[in-house]
Amino acid sequence: MASGSLAFCRTPLRRALTSSPAPRLTPPANEPRNHQQARTFFSLKDIAKLAGEVQGQGANAGSRPGSGQAAGVTEYKDSKVLRYSSSELYKIVSDVNSYSSFLPFCAGSTIKGPAPPLEGDALATSDKVTSRPDHRVLADLTVGFKSFKETYTSVVEMKENEWVAATALPHPLFQHLSTRWTFHPLPDGSSTRIDFSLDYAFSSPIYSALAGGIFKELSTKMMNAFEERAVEVYGQK
């Protein structure tokens, strides 16, 4: 989203999507002009709390990337056929502002404004996509798990009805974080194969051991969360 892009809670549906929403390119009125993250690093107290909470949930905090993955990078992929059009699914995935209302572990999601040009006019996700985006925005996402919260900014790139990709900007927690959704219309005209990938690498073994369980659980829940959102917005098909 980006560029990839991820945080997560559940509240009632706020609104139905009735038309393709253009990304909101202006910050909320109550957001300070010079937005500053409240916290950008873990304290020892944070680490102790997070360790206890992850262990309490039975998360596999010590898991390592599987074979065939880049060193230090965990890669997760999922694919599913849904009985919704690519346009309908694109509208849901591109509506970043609504993420905190239905994604697991998402405590906040806000589009801040247009993304600045990248050096050399290169795509933030050039290794993931083959066509240039229609929209590029900056978005703040907050990962929340009990007493733990961390906010990061992503470049979110969107090609209408085709793909949405997000890449996190430099952050003390991550060396790398990216997500990608790709929509493939099927011949019946009413179904779409949706492909999802999440790649991440923590900046230290400590963060990998403690927060890895949260991101592993998040990865497995993402597809179901968006499918349930589609049912809420468009009804069961």
DSSP sequence for 134-190: SEEEEEEEEEEETTEEEEEEEEEEEETTTEEEEEEPP-SSEEEEEEEEEEEE-TTSS
In degrees, rounded to 5, the angle at the alpha carbon of residue 185 between the alpha carbons of residues 15 and 164 is: 55
Tens digits of per-residue pLDDT, 69-86? 445 788 899 999 999 999
| Residue closest to 40 by CA, chosen among 118, 123, 153, 137 | 153
Tens digits of per-residue pLDDT, 25-78? 444 444 444 444 434 344 444 544 554 454 444 433 333 333 334 457 888 999
* Per-residue pLDDT at 118: 59
Domains and their CATH numbers in the chain: 70-234 (3.30.530.20)
Strand partners, 141: 109, 152
| pLDDT bracket for residue 129 (50, 70, 90) | low
203 Cβ contact list (under 8 Å, min separation 6): 171, 172, 173, 174, 175
Tens digits of per-residue pLDDT, 169-218? 998 888 899 999 999 999 998 999 999 999 989 888 877 776 677 777 77
Supply the DSSP symbol for 68: T
- C-alpha torsion angle, residues 2, 67, 145, 51 (rounded to 10): -140
* Cβ contact 133:160 at 8 Å: no
